[in-house]
Amino acid sequence: MGRIITNEHFGIPRELSRGELLRRLKSGDVNSCLMFSYLGLDEDLDEVIASDKKVLAELGVTYDTVAKSIEELFLSDSDNYNGNPVIRREFIHSPVCPWDDYCSVSPFNLSSKVTEIVLVNGEKLEEAITFMEERGDDGLRCFPELVRRDLGMIFSDIHPHLIRDHYFFEGHQTPYRVDPRRTVRYLNLGTE
Ligand SMILES: [Zn+2]
């Protein structure tokens, strides 16, 4: 059975300054488990959010629909999702939301659990397999090229929260971006 994602964050909620938020979004040390920032140094948070909002309207899907579809992906225990092979990556930690209000894994929970899913593009399967065989098991390091070539998407257990509560799909420079158009295509949204 797949994993139900819930907010295990605890601590004192506090209002972050805009500067502190941007520093967290743009630095790699938001969470030591992540080597990619949420937003490129030259990207504007408001512009990224506004342009994704337009795309959602064009696609006719809501933030909640996209967030729910990622939760369903995590809940699934199938090796193939909408024709796309599923690679589950297990860690003991999970990203803490840069807004400081969410983490899907309690710091006291040190069991290994699926916190990331790589969905391989079933329409480019041969190319994706060749790419992964060539790269071997170099984990995160292959993500930028994997995503740039549209051979796969990387979904994190923080994504539903970022989308639903902050209207944020991540910046264009990180392989962790859950680009709305791609997400709709990979997860086959709006056609069921
Ligand atoms: Zn948050």
**pLDDT per residue as tens digits for the range 142-186:** 888 999 999 999 999 999 999 999 999 999 989 999 999 999 999
**pLDDT per residue as tens digits for the range 49-75:** 999 999 999 999 999 999 999 999 999
Q: Is 87 among the domain residues?
A: yes
Lay out the sheet containing 113-120: strands in order across: 80-81, 84-91, 113-120, 152-156
CB distance 160 to 71 below 8 Å? yes
Segments of the chain assigned E as strands = 80-81, 84-91, 113-120, 152-156
More confident residue, 173 or 47: 47
Q: Number of structural domains, the chain?
A: 1
More confident residue, 67 or 103: 67
- Residue 42's domain comprises 18-186
Helix axes 159-166, 63-75, angle to 10 degrees: 160
**What are the Cα distances from residue 44, in Å, to 4, 29, 68, 74, 170?**
32, 19, 26, 30, 11
- Report how far ligand 1's centroid is from the alpha carbon of 30 (Å): 13
- Residue 104's DSSP bridge partners are none
What is the pLDDT at residue 150? 97
What is the pLDDT at residue 35? 63
- Report how far ligand 1's centroid is from the alpha carbon of 163 (Å): 9
What percent of the chain stands above pLDDT 70? 94
- Report how far ligand 1's centroid is from the alpha carbon of 126 (Å): 37
- Report how far ligand 1's centroid is from the alpha carbon of 39 (Å): 15
